[in-house]
Amino acid sequence: MVHQKPDEATADETSISTQPPSYNLSQAPPVYKVGYPPQKNLTTEFTNTLRETFFHDNPLKQYKDQSGSTKLIMGLQFLFPVFDWGRTYNLSKFKGDLIAGLTIASLCIPQDIGYSKLANLEPQYGLYSSFVPPLIYAAMGSSRDIAIGPVAVVSLLIGSLLQNEVDHEKNKEEYLRLAFTATFFAGITQAALGFLRLGFLIEFLSHAAIVGFMGGAAITIALQQLKYVLGIRKFTKETDIVSVMKSVWGSVHHGWNWQTVVIGFAFLAFLLLAKYIGKRNKKYFWVPAIAPITSVILSTLFVYLFRADKHGVQIVNNIKKGINPSSAHKIYFTGSFVAKGFKIGVVCGMIGLTEAVAIGRTFAAVKGYQLDGNKEMVALGTMNIVGSMTSCYIATGSFSRSAVNFMAGCRTPVSNVVMSMVVLLTLLVITPLFKYTPNAILGSIIISAVIGLVDYEAAILIWKVDKMDFIACMGAFFGVVFKSVEIGLLIAVSVSFAKILLQVTRPRTALLGNLPGTTIYRNTDQYPDARHVPGVVIVRVDSAIYFSNSNYIRERILRWLTDEEEKVKTEGLSKINFLIVEMSPVIDIDTSGIHALEDLYKNLQKRGIQLLLSNPGSIVIEKLQSSKLTEHIGSNHIFLTVADAVRFSTSKSMQEP
């Protein structure tokens, strides 16, 4: 165990803004009193709280002392970052973006066709969603690396939620209109969160819950593709693993098509091999990127040349040719479907937002630039609002495409524009060539794409670090796999909130002792060498004290005291006369917390024990002073450090007869 030097420890313990004057070791160290901050009026306090909640990054600072025209230009650059980075755009950057855009286009086209099936939509709607939204994002987004388009998890989620409201086979037009309505409200939700600077709300879905939800969704998506890979025509509409496996094995003797099985598993093996090659050697990143389109071309040629569609191999058939038609008139703004579209849109929008922001921040950290989460939300929301009016369903940042985009050397969002232009060319010219593309190859592409979402290494790490997080992770995973995507999402959110409530209502407290030879007081569980001070109990509260935990904290402190009193009686030690509450970690306190401290003080008085407080923060001491609690306890019983409080209690004990 490494001990700090006494002088260093004292400086560390006091944590004051000005260093104390130097003194000889033979002299007593100076004692500082707890400072009382100046009183703030209600307006100032409210303004400060509002600023820290919604404007912690001080976004208006850059506009200070600027002319009107400059402010206008800066405002346009804020809403449309293209006006900022576009000024320095050059041919060298375009070369990187061109290569990256062409690479992700080869990946996105077959994925889009497959993902549209997950959403129970016709193939062209997946391509539409990779044409318009990336153009909007390129102008408004602040990430240089995100590749925009439909993603597997959101496609499955919106397909599952829409199917619960409208049957996509019996009421195809209503289903499509509800999809556009949900996309519109998803965009409204995302943009509103950004404009109102409420991005912190998406942080309530913990990383562990997201890992479990994504993993479960990946398993569910892969299982859903078995109907295409095995050539099963009659397949369950349920998504849980039990129903899917019953459907798979129930049709093994009459429903499987061996030609489809050969195509599906042969190309799945090829795709997984390509992904393995790209993972082992980063310079071959283009191998897994072009593998899907290569598989589509080869399998389509195979089916066409051997007319495998005549032998039961299911094919895509015709994909509607042409660019996105307007769909603004199809969005429900009145009627019963508005509420349904709003509910589905909010859920899917939040999931899409969480995925996109996480992806953007990951690559921004690698490249060393800052990503404005609120600006990203506005960009994503705007592109989905426009997308809903141009026959698109919910688009967001795709991890697989963004990774390829990053490794291909993208420099700016122009790579999204290049990808969009390739998709446009596909819609105008190439779509008829997909007629003989087997559904099996699309299923194989999706399976190979979602396998990476099962992050078992992250789950193992979560287990090692935090068991409660692991419960959230597994709850979300099994909820999705064994029930439905909605149930898994509900479990993920519920467990995340339960963890927050548990931490708020049952905060940690610790019994402190003195490290020999220093003035440092630390947790006796963490530091077994820490010694108890005779006649004194020192307790640290590791949380703000609110109405939700104030009674628990008071009772827990009294329990620490009772345990120590019993120990004193058993071992025949000095009677306990002082209880020191170390309040350094207490960042705030409300009226319930103040009442709890007052009750604690009264309880201790009855037991003949003096309450001492150590190092309350400025907010805490201000509220203690306003409530007159400092007068009850006595300002001379509030100290800057635990060492000062112990020194006071020791001197008092020595003065007693």
Per-residue pLDDT of 46-103, as tens digits, reads 677 676 666 666 666 676 777 777 778 877 887 888 888 888 899 999 999 999 999 9
Predicted pLDDT of residue 354: 86
- Please give the sequence-ordered ranges of beta strands (E in DSSP) within 419-542, or none if there are none: 509-514, 521-523, 536-541
* Position 69 in a domain: no
b/e burial code for range 465-485 (CB count within 10 A of at least 16 → b): eeebbbbbbbbbbbbbbebbb
* Position 325 in a domain: yes
CB–CB of 200/350 below 8 Å? no
- Tell me the one-letter amino acid at 138: A
Predicted pLDDT of residue 55: 65
pTM: 0.77
- The residue out of 497, 517, 550 marking a domain boundary is 497
Neighbouring CB atoms inside 10 A of 12's CB total 13
CA–CA separation, 216 and 214 (whole Å): 5
* Position 250 in a domain: yes
* Position 4 in a domain: no
Q: Do 490 and 512 fall within a single domain?
A: no
- How are beta strands 638-639 and 147-149 bridged, if at all? unpaired
Q: Do 481 and 559 fall within a single domain?
A: no
Per-residue pLDDT band at 464 (split at 50, 70, 90): very high
Contacts of residue 352, Cβ cutoff 8 Å, sequence gap at least 6: 151, 154, 186, 190, 380, 384, 394, 395, 396
What are 94's two structure tokens?
């375009």
Q: Do 485 and 550 fall within a single domain?
A: no
Give the mean pLDDT of 476-501: 86
3-state secondary structure labels for all residues of 470-491: HHHHHHHHHHHHHCCHHHHHHH
* Position 2 in a domain: no
Q: Do 537 and 429 fall within a single domain?
A: no
Predicted pLDDT of residue 326: 95
Q: Do 360 and 477 fall within a single domain?
A: yes
Predicted pLDDT of residue 537: 94
CA–CA separation, 153 and 229 (whole Å): 19
**Which CATH number does the domain housing residue 604 bear?**
3.30.750.24
Does 192 score more than 80 pLDDT?
A: yes
Identify the domain containing residue 192 by its residue range: 83-497
Q: Do 520 and 650 fall within a single domain?
A: yes
Q: Do 487 and 522 fall within a single domain?
A: no
Q: What percent of the chain has pLDDT over 90?
A: 48
Q: Do 547 and 478 fall within a single domain?
A: no
Predicted pLDDT of residue 385: 97
| H-helix or E-strand spanning residue 148 | strand 147-149
- The residue out of 436, 470, 497 marking a domain boundary is 497
Does 133 score more than 60 pLDDT?
A: yes
Q: Do 176 and 116 fall within a single domain?
A: yes
Q: Do 488 and 527 fall within a single domain?
A: no
What is the domain count for the chain? 2
Q: Do 218 and 116 fall within a single domain?
A: yes
CA–CA separation, 451 and 446 (whole Å): 9
Per residue in 204-226, pLDDT (tens digit) is: 677 888 889 889 988 998 998 89
* Position 199 in a domain: yes
3-state secondary structure labels for all residues of 205-253: CCHHHHHHHHHHHHHHHHHHCHHHHCCCCCCCCCCCHHHHHHHHHHCCC
Q: Do 482 and 416 fall within a single domain?
A: yes
Does 22 score more than 50 pLDDT?
A: no
Does 25 score more than 70 pLDDT?
A: no
Give the mean pLDDT of 579-597: 93
Per residue in 408-462, pLDDT (tens digit) is: 889 999 999 999 999 999 999 988 889 899 999 999 999 998 888 888 899 999 9
- The residue out of 497, 517, 548 marking a domain boundary is 497
CA–CA separation, 468 and 462 (whole Å): 9
